[in-house]
Structure 1
Amino acid sequence: MIQDFYRKAIRPLLGGLALGLLAGCAPRLAAAPDYRSPQAWLCRPDQSSLCQTDLDATRIAPDGTRTRETFQADPQAPVDCFYVYPTASWDFAPNADLRPGGEADVTRQQAARFSSVCRVYAPLYRQNTIPALLGLEKNGGELAYQDVRAAWQTYLRDSNNGRPFVLIGHSQGSYHLIRLLAQDIEPDAALRSRLVSALLLGAPVSVPRGQDVGGSFQNVPLCRAADQTGCAVSYSAFAAGVPLPEPGDSPAFGRVPAAAPGQPEQHAACVNPAALTGGQATLHPYFTTKRTFPLLTAVQHRPAPWTSGAAIDTPFVTLPDFVTGECTERGGVSFLEVRVIPHPGSPRTTELGGTVNVAGRDLRAWGLHLIDIDLTQGDLIGLVRTQTAAWLAQPRP
């Protein structure tokens, strides 16, 4: 599907000649980042960064009433958040350079507001690029992972100082963190004991059917209580009523590969941070008011016109009593089903945006991928706050 998407939608936009010129001018692979340097980080608590300032939100009630929510970072937060951003680079190369563009925008969108509850560390890394994802370049995933691992090791050595930590990732970032957690953190009992939670959104974490651990992770279960620590949250969001991915679709959000013969059947985990034990709950979203992924009109997050009236002058908007979410499984897809709550006569939008759209058609395999974190950001931040308090209350040897 990705290659078809490129062939039918993107090649006509760029044109063969332009594409050839762009590919011929592909940037040379940057040297490995030196994660001892502040320049190798988008967010770090010892430097003024996009994760600490100008993060206010406009709260729009169902009747259209607006209230400004002033954001306050907590530089003394007792827990760290290590965040890895999703695919955001348009560099025509297998791996991105280290000059942030979309990487900074999506970090601000997804991770910056967590600085109210934790000290955010967000490394730059030579990620697998969008052209590589579309089949225009070779896959650069292994190099990207080695950068993430090097950033983690530098953080542990130089900055952690035995503090508790939260892992936060989305899409490509979650894939790297799933691997890091399984290979480097899980086997180390002392390090694992400092894990407050792992928020691994927009990438499938596998679990045996009916269980909370035993697939992707052997010692880190899914979170089922707000005061539970050392656990994971994972989901992919789809709007209610839309066609779901079918076997063979790419990407495979909400699906995991079939189990090997003789092994327990696996499925993709779905944990709703607003209802950890299951059921439907009202979500607490924070949406960015800035367009993301703007380079091609064929691939874009379409920001909703949140309400009629004056323009919104804050970088975020939150809409209380706007959407519900419920973990659902249908047709082999395990997902967070999102529904807009009807408010007849309300001036607020009923549109979610957040889809990958090609020539006016939403690609079913992606669902609401571009706003996976936005939809529950208030719930995720609240969960980190509660889990941190629970971790700090636990007796230590």
Structure 2
Amino acid sequence: MAISRGARTLVVLLWTVLLGAALAAAPPATADAGTTWLCRPGQPADPCGGRSGAPVDCFYVYPTISAQLSTNANFDRSPEVQGIARLQAEPFGANCNVWAPVYRQLTLRSLFAGTPEERAAALELAYDDVERAWDDYLANHNDGRGVVLIGHSQGTRMLRTLIQERIEGTPAQSQLVSALLLGGGVTVRAGDVVGGDFESVPACTDAAQTGCVVAYSAYSRIPPDIRYGRSPSPGLEVLCTNPASLHDNSASAPLHSIIGGRDVESFRGRCTGGTTNVLLIDGPGAQLLPTVPNESWGLHLLDVNVAQGDLVDLVATQAAAYGH
């Protein structure tokens, strides 16, 4: 899909507006065992809050956000990386100890202007960093605690592969509290809660369930050229789990949104089901939410935020269930 220079510029500008209030000075990067940590418990001026003492950890991988002009970002804790962590991950620090590695992600420039071959190579390099950080975290920092995986967009792509390569079918699967894989197209067998991407990590169907996945892409309206949520092949469907109504994803339920650092209680969400399965957002103001860079992306920039309060509460419930 061709994206104009104006659209690409708008993406960067909108992220800048969204992140501006979230940016804060940060200490030099903390590195160990080859990992550069954006967030780790106890770190001063940590964009994820730096809180410790929760019974479980969160391992967060941020979305495509780097404004660097290279194909892959470097290991700098750049302002945009800090800002998105503050917006997306910091609220979860109330219920988990947040760890987040810096990784050499595919940049915004490469996403919109790179060749398919360049993007594929860049994503492989990015995943290698995330995998190494996960191995470092498990070996040197986890101490047997349960873990919630949190990803969005490119971060979800990284964590989906991590589950397949490093978690499913290994001892680490017993430590999986849940995986919040948002805006990334997790698949299951049609009409089932497993299959597709994962064979033994099911969709969450109850707030107290552990070892399961929450996944969706948010839209306020369904465009004809929808980018996310469309079934990739016969027999598979894109997973949509409504975090406000896990027992009945198709039910319209009130959402607790946190947008721009403010609580918003005006939206409702329901999964549409079928061959295009997305979290449809309605309610006062829903049609004014930005669809950037165009309508085919839906509310991709706000996937986490439209149900962030519900997701934070869900982590608290799952952490309690995991501990019993």
TM-score, with structure 2 as normaliser: 0.86
Q: How many pairs were matched up?
A: 298
Distance in 1 between residues matched to 2:192 and 2:184, nearest whole Å: 18
Spell out structure 1 runs of 4+ moving beyond 6 A. Answer: none
Q: What does residue 267 of structure 1 align with?
A: 237
> Are positions 1:318 and 2:263 aligned together?
yes
In structure 2, the CA distance between the partners of 1:389 and 1:9, relative to structure 1 (3 Å rule), is closer
**How far is 1:182 from its partner?**
1.1
Q: What does residue 244 of structure 1 align with?
A: 223
Q: Which amino acid counterpart does residue 102 of structure 2 have in structure 1?
A: L
Distance in 2 between residues matched to 1:245 and 1:127, nearest whole Å: 30
Verify the 8 A CA contact 2:269 2:282 in the aligned structure 1.
yes
> Are positions 1:226 and 2:207 aligned together?
yes
Verify the 8 A CA contact 2:208 2:321 in the aligned structure 1.
yes
Match of 1:340 among 279, 283, 288: 283
Match of 1:257 among 212, 220, 232: 232
Equivalent positions of 1:151-190 (< 5 A) are: 151-188=133-170, 190=171
Distance in 1 between residues matched to 2:34 and 2:288, nearest whole Å: 36
Distance in 1 between residues matched to 2:75 and 2:173, nearest whole Å: 30
Distance in 2 between residues matched to 1:160 and 1:256, nearest whole Å: 36
Distance in 2 between residues matched to 1:8 and 1:87, nearest whole Å: 18
Match of 2:107 among 129, 132, 135: 129
Verify the 8 A CA contact 2:47 2:83 in the aligned structure 1.
no
In structure 2, the CA distance between the partners of 1:327 and 1:10, relative to structure 1 (3 Å rule), is closer
**How far is 1:78 from its partner?**
0.4
Distance in 2 between residues matched to 1:113 and 1:7, nearest whole Å: 34
Q: Which amino acid counterpart does residue 216 of structure 2 have in structure 1?
A: Y
Larger Rg: 1
Query: Can you list the C-alpha shifts for 1:357-384, whole angstroms capped at 9, x where unaligned?
Result: 4xxxxx1221000111101111001111
Q: Structure 1: where are the runs of 5+ without partners?
A: 12-32, 54-72, 260-264, 289-315, 342-348, 358-362
Distance in 2 between residues matched to 1:107 and 1:131, nearest whole Å: 20
Verify the 8 A CA contact 2:152 2:182 in the aligned structure 1.
yes
Which one has more relative contact order, counting CA pairs under 8 Å at least 6 apart?
1
Query: Can you list the C-alpha shifts for 1:321-364, whole angstroms capped at 9, x where unaligned?
Result: x000001136x3110010014xxxxxxx666424204xxxxx12
Distance in 2 between residues matched to 1:175 and 1:245, nearest whole Å: 24
Match of 2:81 among 103, 107, 121: 103
TM-score, with structure 1 as normaliser: 0.71
**How far is 1:10 from its partner?**
5.0
Verify the 8 A CA contact 2:178 2:213 in the aligned structure 1.
yes
> Are positions 1:328 and 2:260 aligned together?
no
Q: Percent same amino acid at aligned positions?
A: 42
Query: Can you list the C-alpha shifts for 1:126-184, whole angstroms capped at 9, x where unaligned?
Result: 00011111124621100000001111111111100111000000000000100000111
Q: Which amino acid counterpart does residue 72 of structure 2 have in structure 1?
A: N
Distance in 1 between residues matched to 2:7 and 2:263, nearest whole Å: 33
In structure 2, the CA distance between the partners of 1:205 and 1:5, relative to structure 1 (3 Å rule), is same
Distance in 2 between residues matched to 1:379 and 1:276, nearest whole Å: 11
In structure 2, the CA distance between the partners of 1:10 and 1:184, relative to structure 1 (3 Å rule), is closer
In structure 2, the CA distance between the partners of 1:9 and 1:369, relative to structure 1 (3 Å rule), is closer
In structure 2, the CA distance between the partners of 1:195 and 1:366, relative to structure 1 (3 Å rule), is same
In structure 2, the CA distance between the partners of 1:8 and 1:116, relative to structure 1 (3 Å rule), is closer
- Considering fraction of residues, name the structure with more helix: 2
Q: Structure 2: where are the runs of 5+ without partners?
A: 10-28
Distance in 2 between residues matched to 1:243 and 1:202, nearest whole Å: 15
**How far is 1:255 from its partner?**
2.3
Distance in 2 between residues matched to 1:159 and 1:183, nearest whole Å: 20
Moved more, 176-185 or 132-141: 132-141
In structure 2, the CA distance between the partners of 1:9 and 1:229, relative to structure 1 (3 Å rule), is closer
Q: What does residue 50 of structure 1 align with?
A: 47
